[in-house]
Amino acid sequence: MYMYLLFLLLLLPCLALSAWASARVRSTYSKYDAVPTRSCMTGYDAATRLMRNRGVDDIVVNRIEGKLTDHYHPGKHQVNLSMSTYGSVSVAAVAVAAHEVGHVMQNHTGYLPYKIRNVLVPITNVGSRLALPLIIVGLLLDIFWTTAPHPYGQWAVYAGIALYGLSTLFLLVTLPVEFNASRRAKKMLTEDGILTAEELPAAGKVLSAAALTYVASLLVSLVYFLRFALVLASLVRKD
């Protein structure tokens, strides 16, 4: 009982941080989506210019449905920009577009954390908003631990904890990848004259807010992984 209460005491602040981070992303993006860039470049314009100026000519920039659904698909050689980014001339839009180009450059330069994350993707099959799915998996493992027949339940728990650990590792590797892509984005935006020095802090706020969601997801995952690691230690002691 003591360990479960400790688990809840650790988990609840992480859940609160995750909810706050998600709300902050939306509010920050909305705020700076209303601020047009002085260059009057759209998200599409920014992405294509940044890649062209760096000799990248094998990536297609597409428009996809949704808001803040932007992502880079290396296997298909696509930068997919959401409806809210593709045609917008806002500071927020070009910041997000440049961030995705940052991932493109990570791929082209062989950035090691990015390569590691790509190896983990087929195994974990997880995205940027992982807090809720990971919590659900954790609850299911908790239930399975107490109801499944011995020894099959134990084997399932072993496998579940191992897979959960891979998801946590994915999130851990994702942090330097995302922070590095944002640093690249800010540097490229000023180098190519898409944003002025005065506009750059606003772009930085948009990118920082997005990065915070990854931090929150990692903290939630770490708390759950700690709980299941303790369950595993208890199982080993009993055997």
Known catalytic residues?
100
Q: What is the SS3 string spanning the chain? A: CHHHHHHHHHHHHHHHHHHHHHHHHHHHHHHHHCCECCCCCCHHHHHHHHHHHCCCCCCEEEEECCCCCCEEECCCCEEEEEHHHHCCCEHHHHHHHHHHHHHHHHHHHCCHHHHHHHHHHHHHCCCCCCHHHHHHHHHHHHHHHHHCCCCHHHHHHHHHHHHHHHHHHHHHHHHHHHHHHHHHHHHHHHHCCCCCCCCHHHHHHHHHHHHHHHHHHHHHHHHHHHHHHHHHHHHHHHC
